[in-house]
Amino acid sequence: MIHKVFETFREWIDSRHEYAKAWKGRTGKKIVGYFCTYVPEEILYAAEILPVRILGSHEPPTVTEPYIFAMFCPLCRDCLAQGLKGRFDYLDGIVEGQSCLHLRQTFNAWRLHIPIDYTHWIHVPHGVQTPHAIPYLSQELAKFQQSLEKWIGKKITNEDLDRGIKILNRNRELMRRVYEYRKLDNPKITGLEVMEMVLSSQMTDKEEHNKLLEQLLQELPNRKLDRNPGVRLMIIGSEDDDRVFMKNVEDLDATFVIDEHCTGSRYLWNDVVPNEDRLLAIATRYVQRVPCPSKDWPEFTRIQHAVDLAKQFRIQGALVIQNKFCDPHGIEVPPLREALKDIGVPTYPLEFDVTVPWGQFRTRVEAFLETLTGLEELF
Amino acid sequence: MAEMNTQEYWRWPEYRHTVLDKDWHNSKIITAGVDVGSVGSKAVVMLDGELYAYSAMRTGGVSEATAVKVMNWAIEETGLKLDDLHYVVGTGYGRVNVPFAKRTITEIACHARGAHYIYGPTVRTVLDIGGQDCKAIRCDERGKVLSFLMNDKCAAGTGRGLEVFADLVSVPIQDLGKVSLSVDEEPQPVSNTCVIFAKAESLALLRQGWPKERVAAAYHAAMADRIVDLLMRVGVEKDFVVTGGVAKNAGVIERVERLLSIKSLKPNIDPILAGSLGAALFAKALYEKQIGLR
């Protein structure tokens, strides 16, 4: 039953801590939290460690002020708040791959103030557009592998790495196949459902997640959504796991048919291409993946990717969202909007905080939808 | 015994009006627009697309009740009943709280449409300054929105901010703009962009001995700066017009015009009604669609 699949994704997100604790109790294995999708989960799976992404809870944060600057982004403060409140007390370790300074501060504050057995910082290079980036990251990954081996007390073999690569590639491939159903005139899946699929993938054992994805893909071809798809929208920008916002927008005769953020397509668009040197293969994937704008310079390569997605998924408009104080995403907003405008796609910018003021946002989103299709017949 | 001064300087006059030379019995289509804003609520009745009756009052704590009250007040002396209205459109922040509206349309679309009615088809840029937000709207020759931007969250640079300021300097809100223009030399604008902080900063200036006219000038200049920032982001094309309650404040509008080096068209109809006018015009089109005229 397809609705059961979606319910399970939702339950996994809503009960992410219970899920992780039960997994740990069942397997007796370690769990590591990570903040950014530049952490190569392949290596953690190879070590039989469950990686779970640390995300916020969208409650006004009250505990982070002494530890993190107030003008850092809501995501990094909300993530730290979860740690300070003890909600991730089952974690055995935290790992972060360099992306932005804000999440680095969260990692450091966590390391300093929340008791944890293992921490590791991966120096993921910013200069991903230079030829040095892949060999550099490959060496950093070797250090990460050695550090993990020391912690768990056993070697990570090539077979282990192959297993990790296979699990991750399979998960991405299955989710990309689900994305194909968003291209239809009447998409078989909503933007909210896709967000819940991807978020739950970041919070659960991917082997279990893959089984559910296989079931979803069996049932999806026969699904007919009993709703008017309305305006075909893209959502693009900073990390976004605000499911309330997604639902509210899709209740206004609109459907998110594609997204471009690290809780969506950016997480799953690129695979590891197997190579005899496993770490080089993994490093290549993370250097050449659709980049976070913190690494996307001097060329804005992601903008062309966004334009390609806009065409493939035939969007009518795009909501460009930016977490408050997220400078890397802020930098790309003007050229991104310009590039979409050049292919005839109107955009509207919205600034996200820990919670979203829906009253005001509703007016903006509705008015944007009205400009796209809504009122032509009334003039 | 001395009495306390209890004058409510922030309170703007509520009013209603009926165009007496029109008779709704002779009209084919009677429509209404109700604009429930965060601070003020407005209702407009149109007969075959022409302005007939209207009212404006303060929005109360319960939007539904205000919507009913402002609509009933507009039709009070006309003999019309709510049931006589062929189609009603709700707009404004409380648009979903208009119980007798058949449809809601955002205030962005309604202000552009209303501005087109008030100022004519040459309008290309509409600045709407309401109670809690400020909108810069670009539209075409039909009054259809092409693009728009709104201020974020904070109410500085909006009507509610002016109300707070009127109270601070004890100047009736209708006179504030004029008072702010009575300075010989324009002072530095207040630097804060939050209503509460801007009020605190203005209070500090008063305590330093600044006359209230100068403080008012500094406050209005800051509002104008903020509004111009928004307008520059959306781009200003002639003709430029202003709607919403703050359109009546010359201190804000003249400063905005000065900064942009552009004059705004002057209205013959109260621009506070633009949203409700637009809603009533959309209501007419929707009713025509409903009965097969479109």
User: Considering its fold, how many domains does chain B have in total?
Assistant: 2
Q: What pLDDT, on the 0 to 100 scale, is given for residue A1?
A: 86
Residue A267 lies in a domain: no
* Domain presence at residue B214: yes
The reply to whether B4 falls in a domain is no
Q: What is the percentage of chain A residues whose pLDDT exceeds 90?
A: 94
In a domain, A248, yes or no: no
For B28-71, write each residue's pLDDT tens digit.
999 999 999 989 999 999 999 999 999 999 999 999 999 999 99
Low-confidence ranges of chain B (pLDDT < 70): 1-2, 152-156, 193
Q: Are residues B145 and B89 located together in one domain of the fold?
A: no
Within 10 Å of residue B11's Cβ, how many Cβ atoms?
A: 14
Indicate yes or no: CB of A359 within 8 angstroms of CB of B144. no
Please state, in angstroms and rounded to a whole number, the distance separating the CA atoms of residues A266 and A100: 16
Cβ of A367 within 8 Å of Cβ of B143? The answer is no
Residue A185 lies in a domain: no
Task: Give the pLDDT mean for A23-42.
Answer: 98
Looking at residue B155, what is its pLDDT? 65
Residue A69's pLDDT is: 87
Note whether B144 contacts A377, CB cutoff 8 Å.
Answer: no
Beta bridge partners of B18: B53
Determine contact, residues A369/A353, Cβ cutoff 8 Å. Answer: no
Q: What is the predicted pLDDT for the residue at B224?
A: 93
Burial class (CB in 10 A: 0-12, 13-18, 19+), A218: exposed
pLDDT for the residue numbered A22 = 98
Considering only CB atoms, which chain A residues are within 8 Å of B146?
371
Task: Supply the range of the domain harboring residue A25.
Answer: 2-161
Task: Mutate one of A251, A363, A373 to test the B interface: name it (highest B CB count within 10 A).
Answer: A363
One DSSP character per residue, chain B reads -PPP----TTPPPPEEEE-TT--GGG-S-EEEEEEE-SSEEEEEEEETTEEEEEEEEE--S-HHHHHHHHHHHHTTTT---GGG-SEEEEESTTGGG-TT-SEE--HHHHHHHHHHHHH-TT--EEEEE-SS-EEEEEE-TTS-EEEEEE--S--TTSHHHHHHHHHHHT--HHHHHHHHTT-SSPPPPP---SHHHHHHHHHHHHHTT--HHHHHHHHHHHHHHHHHHHHHHH---SSEEEESGGGG-HHHHHHHHHHHT-PBPPPSS-GGGHHHHHHHHHHHHHHHHHTT--
Neighbours of A311 (CB within 10 A): 11
The pLDDT, as a whole number, for residue B1 is: 61
From chain B, the residues in CB contact with A364 under 8 A are 108, 150
- Residue in B106, B146, B286 nearest the CB of A378: B286
Structure tokens of A90? 């089952």
With respect to residue A102, please indicate whether it lies within any of the assigned structural domains.
yes
Residue A49 lies in a domain: yes
Closest chain A CA to residue B111? A367
**Chain B environment of A347 (Cβ under 8 Å):** none
Residues 189-248 on B with a CB inside 8 Å of A are none
Strand ranges, E, within chain A: 31-34, 50-53, 93-97, 118-122, 231-237, 254-260, 317-323, 347-352
A366, closest residue in chain B (CA to CA): B106
Q: Which residues of chain A make contact with B109, given a CB cutoff of 8 A?
A: 367, 370-371, 374-375
Q: Do B147 and A346 touch (CB under 8 A)?
A: yes
* Angstrom distances, CA of residue A209 to CA of A5, A20, A44, B196: 10, 13, 16, 50
Q: How many domains does chain A have?
A: 1
Question: Same domain for B214 and B197?
Answer: yes
pLDDT tens for A126-180 read 999 999 999 999 999 999 999 999 999 999 999 999 999 999 999 999 999 999 9
The reply to whether B108 falls in a domain is yes
Average pLDDT over all residues of chain A:
96
Domain for residue B132, yes or no?
A: yes
Who's near A311: CB < 8 A, 6+ residues apart?
Answer: A343
- CA B109 to chain A, closest CA, distance in angstroms equals 7
Q: Is B108 in the same domain as B156?
A: no
Residues B246 and B286 in one domain: no
Give how far B181 is from chain A: nearest CA, Å.
Answer: 32
pLDDT 10s digits, A44-76? 999 999 999 999 999 987 899 899 988 899 999
Q: Are residues B156 and B233 in the same domain?
A: yes
Q: Flag whether the ipTM exceeds 0.90.
A: no
Position B6 in a domain: no
pLDDT band at A231, cuts 50/70/90? very high
pLDDT confidence bin for A43, thresholds 50/70/90: very high
pLDDT at A248 (0 to 100): 96
Residue B222's domain comprises 123-264
> Which residues of A fall within a CB distance of 8 Å from B145?
367, 370-371
Note whether B127 and B256 are same-domain residues: yes
Residues of chain B with Cβ-Cβ distance to A376 below 8 Å are 144
DSSP-derived 3-state class of residue A348: strand
Cβ–Cβ < 8 Å for A116, A95? no
Domain of B107, CATH number, reads 3.30.420.40
CA–CA min distance B170, chain A (Å): 31
Residue B212 in any domain: the answer is yes
Q: What is the pLDDT of residue A377?
A: 86
Residue B156: predicted pLDDT: 66
- Which residues 80-99 of chain B have a CB within 8 Å of chain A? 93
Is A12 contained in some domain? yes
> What pLDDT, on a 0 to 100 scale, did the predictor assign at position B15?
94
How many Å lie between the alpha carbon of A367 and the closest alpha carbon of chain B?
A: 6
The pTM of this model reads 0.91
**Residue A278: alpha-carbon gap to chain centroid:** 24
Q: How confident is the model at residue A376 (pLDDT cuts 50, 70, 90)?
A: confident
Q: Is residue B243 part of a domain?
A: yes
d(CA B199, CA B227): 18
The residue of B87, B89, B106, B158 whose CB has the most chain A CBs within 10 angstroms, and thus the best one to mutate to test that interface, is B106
Query: What are the phi and psi torsion angles at A14 (to 5°)?
Result: -65, -30
User: Considering CB atoms only, which of A360, A367, A377 is closest to B145?
Assistant: A367
The answer to whether position B9 is within a domain reads no
> Residue A132 sits in a domain of what CATH number?
3.40.50.11890
